[in-house]
């Protein structure tokens, strides 16, 4: 279980960095989609790569944890930046 939390936290950090890099350049809806998409695809390719490394294995549950971490961070950033502007 701790392994999945670490995966989620690492990919939440990746999502945060992606968001910060692109938030001034993309429309908010496209930013949301691309942030989660980028992190999820990166997680998928990372798991695929691990299947070729001795002593490592690819895991769908790790990929799900990666994507979930990115998704949760993206929702939090969206709420902080764009929902606050509506008030």
CA 39 centroid distance within chain: 4
Structural domain count of the chain: 1
- For the entire predicted model, the pTM comes to 0.89
Question: What pLDDT, in 10s, does the model give residues 17-73?
Answer: 999 999 999 999 999 999 999 999 999 999 999 999 999 888 999 999 999 999 999
- What is d(CA 27, CA 35) in angstroms, rounded to the nearest whole number? 12
Boundaries of domain holding 15? 2-86
């Amino acid at each position: 279980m701790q392994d999945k939390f670490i995966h989620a936290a690492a990919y939440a950090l990746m999502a945060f960095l992606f968001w910060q890099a692109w938030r001034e350049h993309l429309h908010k809806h496209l930013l949301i989609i691309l942030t989660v998409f980028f992190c999820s695809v990166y997680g998928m390719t990372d798991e695929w790569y691990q299947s070729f490394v001795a002593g490592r294995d690819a895991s769908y549950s790790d990929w799900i944890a990666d994507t979930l971490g990115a998704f949760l961070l993206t929702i939090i950033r969206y709420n902080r930046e764009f929902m606050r502007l509506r008030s």
